[in-house]
A and B are shown apart, each in its own frame.
Chain A
């Protein structure tokens, strides 16, 4: 098995390196119809579903119970449903029980220093529900009593201050919608297509409405000294996560976040206080934020030297590669969302860029030979997921679906080949290449990479 971890690649041992052919081996095994691997589908009956359950999504293509279909009257039309006091904090329908975060066990040594993935194939619009936002912890999710939480600001400031959560909740606040993406999103795919699910190929991302205090507001309270050039943000978790942040970014748009999609942060998202560094690698958005030190140079912490640096083929590594690049992926057709017979489908997906706004998304159904511009009429917000959509009729043939995003600077999302030519295969982070979904005549969808 060619298990490949995105973080600790250097520790892989011989037993784990392996059988997997190199991505560039010219492996062009005949693309014959492969028997469906039903384990990978979220419900049984998908193969047969091509001819039944018209109008159902592929995932919901479980055969219906005729007793509940017209002209019969289903049970839920005759008996009383659950009372209003039965679910003080609501939960999704039990029929959506498969829509959960998942982790990849072999990826990391422990599940406390690990990551789980957002189920992008099951999401709609641009907002990620709080319970489905991917989590990356380095020392587990700290449980912090807000009464005992403090934020200290010190260093090159006029006034070294300490704040309670009550202090912060009284301050002028802002609410902004931004994506938050792990720098290693897609990092398992550098040497070739590997993950048979959108959840794992692109799921280290979420997009929420974040509410809190502008970091600038807080720094104004402390008063920056003239030599202030960098901040160190530090978490209160057992990893003591720390990153250096340049002062310009801190003053531009960083937020001390206490609420997410309208409610207080979830514990796993840094409750009661986290930093949000919009558009930059998610690791910098320090959770359980306890301390901000102001200094005149970066600290070169472990997470900006040993990790979160990008090794290039030359042997040199890029450091401080903060910005998340222009990226996109089709989510309505994916390994988890096989097609359910020929006919009409909406091709839909998400695009995002740390550079600002998405300007355009093009879709190809022939592996990148020809492209059509998709509709992005929905909100196209700064450093946010942007939903794109395109009507499409599938004729039942094998197709290669791709999306290609362009940001407002004119930068166009690259191909895998272009990216690998510059960066080789060992840089782990910032893989933002065009994704290809192979749709088999059966409707099955596979993650592949093209020449």
Chain B
């Protein structure tokens, strides 16, 4: 029902209930833009889905991934992904912490899909040097990160097929939006007996100085 062919008759557009209020030209072919070539699309189409759609040819290994990681990733993410004393994300560990007072949302403890690793490393990492890794290098770094999270073996050959087959430990850890989950009422008088301050921002003391020039 979301197909909008050229020159769609106004009457059937109205039947969709979607375009009633639009000016007549809205569904016309405006003649603007041009056909995108396959090369143009391929150069920018770098996304990867959980079912493996979008994964390119190529392959990588844990061993190669470790070498790349040490050289290009570890100065932010730390050795073996445990954070480097900086505030960059911790990439490994954290299993069993999601219900604790200190949840650690790492690749192993939190990420639902391995495909997201490939997609994100390819498009955004290393930070400040995005899209400089080759496909084989991305496969290797992905293999290494899954390996240090105990998700794939040391000798895995990471490629489109094996990556699409990886099942992440927390794949079942997500639920779709079920809000609204709270229901306040618009009480107007004598709404509560106890009004006690339990928390003062001033006692925390982490607010930047507003007088300081930025």
Q: Which residues of A contact B (CB under 8 A)?
A: 1-5, 8-13, 17, 20-21, 23-29, 31, 34, 37, 39-42, 98, 100-106, 108-110, 112-113, 138-139, 152-154, 158-164, 167-168, 170-172, 192-197, 199-201, 216-217, 219-221, 223-226, 228, 232, 234, 238-240, 242, 247, 251, 290-291, 293, 295, 297, 299-302, 305-306, 309, 311, 313-323, 325, 335-336, 360, 362, 366-373, 400, 404, 406, 411-415, 418-419, 421-423, 426, 430, 436, 438, 446-451
Contacts of A17 in B (CB 8 A): 102
Contact A100:B204 (CB < 8 A) given known A172-B25, A371-B191: no
Contacts of B47 in A (CB 8 A): 232, 234, 242, 293, 299, 301
Q: Verify A161–B112 contact, CB threshold 8 A.
A: no
Contacts of B111 in A (CB 8 A): 305-306
Interface residues of B in 170-214 (CB under 8 A from A): 173-192, 194-211, 214
Contacts of B106 in A (CB 8 A): 10
Bound complex: CA A28 to CA B198 (Å): 6
Q: Does B169 contact A (CB under 8 A)?
A: no
Nearest CB on B from A356, distance (A): 14
| Closest residue on chain B to residue A313 by CB atoms | B99
Q: Verify B98–A400 contact, CB threshold 8 A.
A: no
Bound complex: CA A110 to CA B89 (Å): 12
Nearest CB on B from A247, distance (A): 6
Bound complex: CA A369 to CA B85 (Å): 46
Contact A446:B201 (CB < 8 A) given known A10-B89, A309-B174, A368-B195: yes
Contact A320:B176 (CB < 8 A) given known A108-B87, A193-B204, A404-B186: yes
A-B pairs, top 7 by smallest CB distance, nearest first, are A240-B123, A367-B195, A192-B199, A447-B201, A109-B87, A193-B201, A196-B207
Q: Beta-carbon contacts of B11-26 to A below 8 Å, as 1s and 0s? A: 0000000100001011
Nearest CB on B from A18, distance (A): 10
Q: Verify B87–A11 contact, CB threshold 8 A.
A: yes
Nearest CB on B from A147, distance (A): 16
Out of B45, B98, B116, B192, which one reaches A291, CB within 8 Å? B45
Contacts of B188 in A (CB 8 A): 362, 370-373
Contacts of B23 in A (CB 8 A): 172
Contacts of A113 in B (CB 8 A): 127
22 of the cross-chain contacts (CB-CB < 8 Å) are A10-B89, A11-B87, A27-B198, A37-B202, A101-B214, A152-B36, A152-B44, A153-B36, A167-B33, A195-B207, A238-B128, A239-B123, A242-B47, A291-B44, A300-B112, A305-B111, A315-B99, A317-B175, A335-B201, A371-B186, A371-B187, A419-B182
Q: Besides A153-B36, A167-B32, A221-B33, 14 other CB < 8 A contacts? A: A11-B90, A26-B198, A163-B33, A171-B32, A172-B30, A193-B200, A200-B207, A221-B29, A297-B49, A302-B116, A306-B116, A369-B190, A372-B188, A450-B195
Q: Verify B177–A318 contact, CB threshold 8 A.
A: yes
Bound complex: CA A335 to CA B207 (Å): 11
Q: Which of B1-9, B145-153, B155-163 contacts A (4 or more CB under 8 A)?
A: B1-9
Q: Does B73 contact A (CB under 8 A)?
A: no
Bound complex: CA A366 to CA B50 (Å): 52
Q: Does B40 contact A (CB under 8 A)?
A: yes
Contacts of B103 in A (CB 8 A): 9-10, 311, 426
Q: Beta-carbon contacts of B103-126 to A below 8 Å, as 1s and 0s? A: 111110011110110011001100
Contacts of A247 in B (CB 8 A): 2
Out of B186, B195, B209, which one reaches A406, CB within 8 Å? B186
Contact A449:B36 (CB < 8 A) given known A40-B207, A305-B112, A404-B186: no
